[in-house]
Amino acid sequence: MSALVHDGTAVLGRHLQRIRHAPAITVMTQTMPIVFLLFFGYVFASALAVPGAEYRAYLVPGILVATASGGLMTGMFQAAQDSHRGVMDRFRTLPVSRAAVPLGQALADLVASAVGTVPLLLVGLAMGWRIEGTALEALGAFGLLLLFRFATTWIGILLGLASQSEEAAGQLGSASFMLPLLSNAYIPTDGMPGWLRTIAEWNPISAVTTAVRKLFGNAPVPTDAAWPVAHPVAGALLWSLVLIALFAPLAVRRYARR
C-alpha cells in the first residue's frame, strides 16, 4: 500500500510537470466551459425560464458538473497518448504497482481540474451566481464535483487505454461534449419528450447537477423526476461511487493486461 502511494505520487508529479510544460490542453479544456457559460447565460437565457430559480444561477452548477464530466475526455486523451508512445512500455517494465500509473494520472487530473475551476467560479460570481447555502453544504458541493470528476476520469482512462490510436481517442473525446446536453445541466428536463426525459434523468450528470444546485442553494429539487434526481445527493454519491468501483479496477486491469 505504501508502495502504491509512493509510486502513485511520483506519477502524479510527472503529470503535473507535463501540464506545467504544455499547459495548452488544460487551459483549453478549462476555457471552453467559460465560453459555454457566457453563451448560455446571455444568448439563450432570455428564451429559457426555470421554475423557482434565476437562469444564470441555475446554469453555473450545470456548467461546473459538465466541466467535471470532462474528465472523460482528458483522461481518455492522456491515457491514449501515453499508451501509443514508448514511455508506457517503460512504466510497464518497472517494478512498480500496476495501479500506480493510472492512479497517478487520475489524481493529477483531479488537482488540475480543481485549480482550473477557479476562473470558472469567478466568472460565475461576476454573472451574479452566489453560494446561497451553508459553508458546509458548499463544501459538500465541491466534494461531489471532485468525486464525479474522479469517476469520469477513470472511465476516460479505460477508454484511452483501449483506444486504437491517439486520433481515435481525440475524436471520441470531443464527442463527449454531447453528454451534458442529454441532462439537466443546461435546461430542465420537464420540457423534454417522455423517453428523452427518462434518459436525461438517469444520466449521472443530472443527479450530480441537481445535488450541486441544491447544496449551493441555487435551485429547488424537482419532485416528479427519476429517483437519482429526486434524491440528488444520494443519487450523485451513488452514481460516482458505482462508476469508480466499476471503472477504476477495469482501467487498472486493462493497464496490467499483457
How near is the Cβ of 80 to another protein at its closest, in Å? 15
How near is the Cβ of 10 to another protein at its closest, in Å? 4
Q: Cα 79 to chain center, whole Å?
A: 16
**Chain positions contacting another protein, by CB under 8 A:** 6-7, 10-11, 13-14, 17-18, 21-22, 85-87, 89-96, 100, 258
Distance from C-alpha of 258 to C-alpha of 253, rounded to nearest angstrom: 10
Distance from C-alpha of 16 to C-alpha of 47, rounded to nearest angstrom: 41
Contact at 8 Å (CB) between 188 and 212? no
How near is the Cβ of 158 to another protein at its closest, in Å? 19
How near is the Cβ of 128 to another protein at its closest, in Å? 40
How near is the Cβ of 141 to another protein at its closest, in Å? 33
Nearer to another protein by C-beta: 12 or 141?
12
Nearer to another protein by C-beta: 16 or 48?
16
Nearer to another protein by C-beta: 28 or 135?
28
Nearer to another protein by C-beta: 85 or 130?
85
Distance from C-alpha of 117 to C-alpha of 81, rounded to nearest angstrom: 24
Nearer to another protein by C-beta: 17 or 174?
17
Three cell numbers written together for 189? 428536463
